[in-house]
């Protein structure tokens, strides 16, 4: 027998079902099904009358414990407990509040995206730009990063000072005998 609750209302439903006081509804249901299979009267039809009476008594206790716990007396809450089932009417205030939270999150996301874009735009404006200047060949053959960018946009970003350097028209024709240097720091930015 399960021990009695202090208020003498009957046996402790957690002890009857053999679950902890922190059990969720799913755990209580699983324990109830296991106990119901063990003590169901149909399982004890061939048993002696004393065993049948004891099984019926235990089945009543298991049923009462399950009903008590299913009503929510002390069960741990789960996310599923907060969602209304098909039989319950949805709370209109909860729907309105969920809509407000979604709109607030959307506004915050938009504000953060705009701030990030403004930051990127400001950073791009603060980068100095200039016209790349030709420099005589240094004698060594090398390829500096950015040729693909230069072929598409006619500009390069200096890897030292991060300034954007415009390449003059016809720079591809002069690449064999001329290096191109950054006008801000003097570093060779394109060589072949």
Q: What is the pLDDT along the chain (192 residues), one digit of tens a residue?
A: 555 555 556 788 888 989 888 888 888 889 999 998 888 888 888 888 888 899 899 999 999 988 888 886 555 555 554 555 566 667 788 888 888 999 999 999 999 999 998 888 887 677 667 777 787 776 665 656 677 778 888 888 888 888 888 888 888 888 778 888 888 888 888 877
Please tell me the predicted confidence (pLDDT) of residue 184.
82
Asked which of 57, 82, 107 is the last residue of a domain, the reply is 82
DSSP state letter for 110: H
Please tell me the predicted confidence (pLDDT) of residue 61.
92
- Is residue 45 domain-resident? yes
Residue 55's domain spans which residues? 13-82
Please tell me the predicted confidence (pLDDT) of residue 176.
77
- Is residue 24 domain-resident? yes
Distance between CA atoms of 170 and 117, rounded to whole angstroms? Answer: 34
- Is residue 2 domain-resident? no
- Is residue 104 domain-resident? no
| CA distances for 104 relative to 95, 101, 109, 112, 118, angstroms | 14, 5, 9, 12, 21
- Is residue 101 domain-resident? no
Distance between CA atoms of 12 and 5, rounded to whole angstroms? Answer: 5
- Is residue 114 domain-resident? no
Burial 2-39 (b: 16+ CB within 10 A, else e): beeeeeeeebbbbbbbebeeebebebbbebbeebbeeb
Please tell me the predicted confidence (pLDDT) of residue 113.
92
Contacts 24+ apart (CB under 8 A), 79-88: 80/25, 81/25
- Is residue 118 domain-resident? no
Please tell me the predicted confidence (pLDDT) of residue 106.
92
- The number of distinct structural domains making up the chain is 2
- Is residue 90 domain-resident? no
């Amino acid at each position: 027998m399960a021990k009695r609750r202090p208020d003498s209302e009957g046996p402790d439903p957690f002890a009857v079902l053999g679950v902890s006081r922190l059990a969720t509804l799913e755990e209580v249901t699983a324990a109830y099904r296991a106990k119901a299979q063990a003590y169901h009267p149909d399982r004890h039809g061939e048993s002696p009358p004393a065993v049948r009476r004891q099984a019926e008594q235990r089945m009543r206790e298991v049923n009462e414990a399950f009903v008590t716990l299913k009503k929510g007396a002390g069960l741990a809450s789960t996310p599923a407990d907060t969602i209304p089932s098909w039989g319950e009417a949805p709370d209109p205030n909860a729907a309105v509040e969920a809509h407000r939270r979604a709109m607030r999150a959307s506004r915050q996301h938009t504000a953060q995206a705009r701030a990030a874009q403004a930051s990127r735009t400001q950073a791009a404006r603060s980068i100095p730009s200039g016209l790349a200047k030709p420099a005589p060949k240094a004698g060594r053959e090398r390829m500096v990063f950015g040729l693909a960018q230069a072929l598409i946009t006619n500009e390069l970003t200096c890897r030292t000072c991060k300034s954007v350097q415009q390449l003059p028209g016809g720079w591809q024709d002069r690449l064999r005998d001329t290096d191109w240097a950054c006008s801000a720091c003097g570093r060779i930015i394109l060589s072949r």
